[in-house]
Structures are given as C-alpha cells and as structure tokens.
Amino acid sequence: MTARPALLSDDTLELRGLLAELGRRYHAAGWLMGTSGNLSARLPAPDGGPGDRALVTASGRHKGRLGTSDFVIVDLDGNLVAAGPDARPSAETRLHLAVYRRVPEAGVALHVHTVASTLLAPDMDGVDGAIGHARFADIEMIKGLDLWHPEDAAALPLFANHAHVPDIAADVERYYAVPREVPAFVIRGHGITAWGSDPFTADRHLEVTEFLCRVALARR
Ligand SMILES: [Zn+2]
C-alpha cells in the first residue's frame, strides 16, 4: 500500500499563488481551455541551487479558477511527494520534469494549448528526438527569447505528439541532452512549453513563443 502524500506546506504558498495568477491570465487569453495545460516551478535545494522536486498544477483543474491547493509536489522521477486535498498529478507532469532534468537554469515551466501553436508546422529538419524546427529570423520579437544579434534566428523545435506522454518526455530529454538556445518547444498539434529562471522570465518566453507561432500562422 502506498502511503498518503504529505500536505503542501506554507513555504510554497507564495509560488502557488503566482502560478495560479498566471493560470487565470492564460485561461482568459484562451491558452488553457477545458482544464488543459499545466504550470510548474522547480523547488530550490537547501543551498539555493536547483532542487530535486517540482511544484505542478494538479490534474483536471480549471486553470481560470486555480486555488493554492490545486497543486502537487513530485520528485524529478515523477514520484508524488505532497499534494493538496484530492489533488493528483497530471500525465503531462512528465513534460515539466523532462525540462527540469535537462535544463538546470529552468526554474519555472509553463505548458499551454494555444490555437497558433497547435497549427505550427516545421520548416527545417529535426535532430535528436525533435521532428523538425520552425525557423524565425528578421523578427524583432526573438530578442524576447534572449537572441540579440541581428544575424540570430530562433529555431523552435517541434516534437511528435505521442498519445503516451512519457514518450514525448523521452524525445524532449534526448533533444535537451545538449544545451539549446531557445527556451521553449512545441508539441505538434498540441501546444507550447516554455521556461525561464523565474515566473517573470518564463512568462516572457511563453508570450514571445506564442507571438512567433501567430506569425507563422499568419504567413501560411
Ligand atoms: Zn498539453
């Protein structure tokens, strides 16, 4: 018999409030419809470095009405550590863990289902688990992904949307086994995952990625 997970402790309360606030905003924008998507933060280790646990929104919750108890804490292998009342981890928790396992600077990861990213198609070959890339050059907004040089282009990777989420996570881990420039990816026919060191940076990377997906859609 598995032991019941611990309840969420107050040291994550502020972070849960911040993620719930992002959930309300993205739901209002139409990015988290029908309980879709999930938002997470990697909890720091006692020394302040990247820790081995993540706080993630619980399965099946309406993202426009997220409360601070609608969260779970899992370790980076997906084992449940703590949870709000009746809160269960979503299958998509694996996507967040894939990012934290491979990208040490990711402190917050945001996964949303937007119309433009659902329709994004690759225009460059893929490598290492990615089925392709969508390339963006000569677009001012790529500076928002920290690409500052005029010759820079953003190559946004696309992954196949396997029905079994751990298979998507495995592709993601394979691709990010080496450092990559763009702090976001798209799962084809599905949505965006973007990250940053903190909620503000992750939110910026998500908004810019969604903007690029809309540019690609407008060009088709
Ligand atoms: Zn999803």
List, in order of start, the domains of the chain with CATH numbers. 10-219 (3.40.225.10)
What pairing do the DSSP bridges indicate for beta strands 184-187 and 153-159? parallel
User: Rounded to the nearest whole angstrom, what is the distance from the C-alpha of residue 46 to the centroid of ligand 1?
Assistant: 31
User: Rounded to the nearest whole angstrom, what is the distance from the C-alpha of residue 10 to the centroid of ligand 1?
Assistant: 28
User: Rounded to the nearest whole angstrom, what is the distance from the C-alpha of residue 125 to the centroid of ligand 1?
Assistant: 23
- Sequence letter at residue 113: H
pLDDT of the chain, 220 residues: tens digit per residue: 566 789 999 999 999 999 999 999 999 999 999 999 999 999 999 898 889 999 999 999 999 999 999 999 999 999 999 999 999 999 999 999 999 999 999 999 999 999 999 999 999 999 999 999 999 998 999 999 988 876 778 999 999 999 999 999 999 999 999 999 999 999 999 999 999 999 999 999 999 999 999 999 999 8
User: Rounded to the nearest whole angstrom, what is the distance from the C-alpha of residue 103 to the centroid of ligand 1?
Assistant: 19
Whether residue 73 contacts residue 100, with contact meaning beta carbons closer than 8 Å, is answered with no
User: Rounded to the nearest whole angstrom, what is the distance from the C-alpha of residue 2 to the centroid of ligand 1?
Assistant: 28
Task: Give the number of other CB atoms < 10 A from CB of residue 73.
Answer: 24
User: Rounded to the nearest whole angstrom, what is the distance from the C-alpha of residue 114 to the centroid of ligand 1?
Assistant: 10
Cα(18)–Cα(122) distance, integer angstroms: 33
User: Rounded to the nearest whole angstrom, what is the distance from the C-alpha of residue 54 to the centroid of ligand 1?
Assistant: 17
Q: Phi and psi (nearest 5°) for 68?
A: -70, -5
User: Rounded to the nearest whole angstrom, what is the distance from the C-alpha of residue 118 to the centroid of ligand 1?
Assistant: 10
The per-residue pLDDT for 54 is 98
- Sequence letter at residue 9: S
The per-residue pLDDT for 4 is 78
Burial class (CB in 10 A: 0-12, 13-18, 19+), 155: buried
User: Rounded to the nearest whole angstrom, what is the distance from the C-alpha of residue 113 to the centroid of ligand 1?
Assistant: 6
Closest CA to 72 of 97, 101, 47: 97
Whether residue 179 contacts residue 197, with contact meaning beta carbons closer than 8 Å, is answered with no
Burial class (CB in 10 A: 0-12, 13-18, 19+), 7: exposed
The per-residue pLDDT for 5 is 85
User: Rounded to the nearest whole angstrom, what is the distance from the C-alpha of residue 47 to the centroid of ligand 1?
Assistant: 32
User: Rounded to the nearest whole angstrom, what is the distance from the C-alpha of residue 36 to the centroid of ligand 1?
Assistant: 6
User: Rounded to the nearest whole angstrom, what is the distance from the C-alpha of residue 95 to the centroid of ligand 1?
Assistant: 9
